[in-house]
Structure 1
Amino acid sequence: MPDTYYSVIKGTGKYIPSKVIKNKDFLNAQFYNTDGKKLAKTNEEIIRKFQEITEIAERRYIEDDYVTSDMAFFAAEEALKSALLDKEKLDYIIVAHNFGDVLKDNQKSDMVPSLASRVKYKLQIKNPDCIAYDLPFGCPGLVQGLIQGDYYIKSGDAKNILVIGAETLSRVSDPHDIDSMIYSDGAGAIILQSQESDSPVGILTHKTRTDTLNEAMLLRMDLSYNPDYKDDTLFMKMNGRKLYEYALNTVPSLVKATIDKAGLDIRDIKKVLIHQANAKMDDAILHRVFKLYGMQEDPREIMPITISKLGNNSVATVPILLDMLLCGEIERHHINSGDHVIFASVGAGMNVNAVLYRFP
């Protein structure tokens, strides 16, 4: 395959659960600190400060009868329809997630068969040459799936790739940990397709890093903060302060390196679609990116934010953002032909990645 073939986005889809959980729904929660002691502040104070920092006012939880692979399937159907693509022509299905299918009343991860195989089954794809596999890579999993898809297309191994990010964080979060208010559920899907072009389009550059020496356990699984919790269920735990510092120290330089590899400047970037775990953190990250270019700009001009309504749905954030953007569902933000966009994420591992994309 000649070098004039590029990985372009031909379709997108999303699934946003219908169950809305507002901050007031946590007023009766019992929150504990890492030492197993009840927090001294009232829940009203805790929630007010939480919203002030994160901007999260509500989030979406998966419906009781669904699991992660269901949401992934729903998003995949939308993406295939958007791309006007026959499902039998898919060469790869890559599903990024971290916890598999987790039932409402059973919090054990179920990952056999893989979620990608379950999605292929739900789509009723007969083609055995459509390879389905999972990508557990923390929150950056969807972006890493795009990077892997680009390698397949550039090598001539594939023409059509379905990349999905789906997660059910509400079922793996400790109800006695204030961080549980951050997490939400959802799924987003992207169809990557090989396209011949005389000028660079689609995925132009990308970069990934993994830091484990001192950062591997910033996100991990552990027992409930409530010492009297009913059993030994493991929940997702986060060292918020250290993670915030890590993100600010790594993401800006990695985003700049991704832009620089294409010979571009931050002024050439129309939008930055970044994984949203904390609005304050995302603002700080983009401020630092601008600062690396000697600029002091308002991040919100190029960074669409949905966290106030959707919370942090991990690997689903970037594809949902993209689908909403392309469908005109985010006020004051739109994309035109020729626009350069950055996809970026940071999360468990610790992993950081970014993709620079040019819309045909």
Structure 2
Amino acid sequence: MSDIASAATTRRAVITGTGSALPVRRVSNAELAEQVDTSDEWIVERTGIRFRHIAGPDETTSTLATDAARAALAAAGTDARDIDLIVLATATPDQTFPASATRVQAALGIDDCVAFDVAAVCSGFLYAVQVAESMIRAGSANRALVIGAETFSRILDWEDRATCVLFGDGAGAIVMEARETATQDGRGVLATKLHADGRHNQLLYVDGGPSTTGTVGKLRMKGKEVFRHAVVNLAAVMNEGLAAAGLGPEDVDWVVPHQANARILDATARKLGLAPEKVVVTVDQHANTSAASVPLALDTAVRDGRIKPGDLLVLEAMGGGFTWGAAIVRF
């Protein structure tokens, strides 16, 4: 009986490659202070942000997503034609429809695969991971591209210094493949937990849309309230995810969080009792890139050698909606 049990395998979604892409233009706080009533000191003290990338006229959500996808495919050693699922998380699509995922599909030369967008703002990448992982585990997909991509600069009010200094543009991507693994220590997505609470719509939202104003609208945020909810919700969902995987904070090698604010990252780590050096931080270089934030940070830490095969990762994010979630991944 024990031999039979030990031989049992589980179909899991394993991350086999990561990639990212940033717009060419890199904007410092000092440059931003020439346009907005702010300063480098003010921004760094309150957010930890020093730079952000801003998309140019020829750079869109789908072009950044495509570049990130190509990098992830190269890292995975996977041909684009072997992809049978593309899930693109974004709040800033190229068009109202069709899905920007289909533009990525065409740009990659894929004739036919399932391709669609997921809209959960800063939590979008976590939502996309769970969707792709569920489809892979169910056998309806074998190789997926999961992408977070944003051009938030297009929806910022550049006269509102409280919000325009916080965001940037970019894209991150992962390749997820079906693998049979024998134990809980094997690679792959071990657990995911997602939440949403629409009662907090007015704390972080865009004041436009096709069905309401017929315009794209601009981002609006009540920062103090968002901060308070973020620290509580993120710590809770990470503990929830670890419990679902039968693990605890002591098992975590790296937390790869949504890069919204350095103070949120610090406060969340303290609530979990995690050492700050276990938290991947890129907010100083990228600012808040919404759905692109987590995969951008993941790719950064993979490529600089911090994250290694076998490491236990906690991916987490919270965004407008509110939506929030976490994924426990053996890399």
Superposed pair shares fold, TM > 0.5: yes
**Quick one: which amino acid aligns to residue 132 of structure 1?**
A
Deviations 1:33-84 (A, max 9, x none): xxxxxxxxxx34xx42221121111111112211111101111111111111
Separation of aligned partners in 2, 1:70 and 1:283: 33
5 Å-filtered alignment, 1:1-360, equals: 4-30=10-36, 43-44=38-39, 47-101=40-94, 110-126=95-111, 128=112, 130-178=113-161, 179-200=163-184, 201-213=187-199, 215-222=200-207, 234-290=217-273, 297-299=274-276, 301-328=277-304, 334-359=306-331
Secondary structure, counterpart of 1:65 in structure 2: coil
List gaps (5 residues or longer) in structure 2. Answer: 1-7, 209-214
Separation of aligned partners in 1, 2:271 and 2:169: 29
Secondary structure, counterpart of 2:172 in structure 1: strand
Residues 258, 316 of structure 2: 8 Å contact kept: yes
Alpha-carbon deviation of 1:161? 0.6
Residues 193, 325 of structure 2: 8 Å contact kept: yes
Secondary structure, counterpart of 1:70 in structure 2: helix
Secondary structure, counterpart of 1:139 in structure 2: helix
**Quick one: which amino acid aligns to residue 166 of structure 2?**
I
Whichever structure has more helix as a proportion of its residues is: 2
Instruction: Identify the range of structure 1 (14-23 vs 345-354) with the bigger mean alpha-carbon deviation.
Output: 14-23
Deviations 1:92-151 (A, max 9, x none): 1111000212xxxxxxxx23221001111111212x3x1110001111111111111110
**Quick one: which amino acid aligns to residue 171 of structure 1?**
R
Alpha-carbon deviation of 1:27? 2.4
Separation of aligned partners in 2, 1:3 and 1:118: 36
**Quick one: which amino acid aligns to residue 312 of structure 1?**
N
Secondary structure, counterpart of 2:74 in structure 1: helix
Secondary structure, counterpart of 1:95 in structure 2: strand
Alpha-carbon deviation of 1:298? 3.3
Deviations 1:325-350 (A, max 9, x none): 1111xxxx612332210000000110
Residues 81, 109 of structure 2: 8 Å contact kept: no
**Quick one: which amino acid aligns to residue 123 of structure 1?**
L
Alpha-carbon deviation of 1:28? 3.4
Residues 9, 182 of structure 2: 8 Å contact kept: no
Residues 17, 75 of structure 2: 8 Å contact kept: yes
Secondary structure, counterpart of 1:8 in structure 2: strand
Give the aligned CA root-mean-square deviation in angstroms: 1.6
Equivalent residue pairs, number = 315
Separation of aligned partners in 1, 2:36 and 2:128: 38
Deviations 1:208-234 (A, max 9, x none): 110122x122111238xxxxxxxx872
Separation of aligned partners in 2, 1:158 and 1:348: 29
**Quick one: which amino acid aligns to residue 74 of structure 1?**
D
Separation of aligned partners in 2, 1:30 and 1:148: 40
List gaps (5 residues or longer) in structure 1. Answer: 32-42, 102-109, 224-231, 291-296
Alpha-carbon deviation of 1:30? 4.8
Separation of aligned partners in 2, 1:114 and 1:309: 29
**Quick one: which amino acid aligns to residue 309 of structure 1?**
Q
Separation of aligned partners in 2, 1:342 and 1:195: 20
Residues 3, 154 of structure 1: 8 Å contact kept: no
Residues 10, 83 of structure 1: 8 Å contact kept: yes
Deviations 1:214-261 (A, max 9, x none): x122111238xxxxxxxx872111110110111122111111011111
Residues 29 and 233 of structure 1, relative CA distance in 2, 3 Å threshold: farther
Secondary structure, counterpart of 2:179 in structure 1: strand
**Quick one: which amino acid aligns to residue 178 of structure 2?**
S
Secondary structure, counterpart of 1:64 in structure 2: coil
**Quick one: which amino acid aligns to residue 174 of structure 1?**
D
TM-score by length of 1: 0.84
Instruction: Identify the range of structure 1 (273-282 vs 79-88) with the bigger mean alpha-carbon deviation.
Output: 79-88
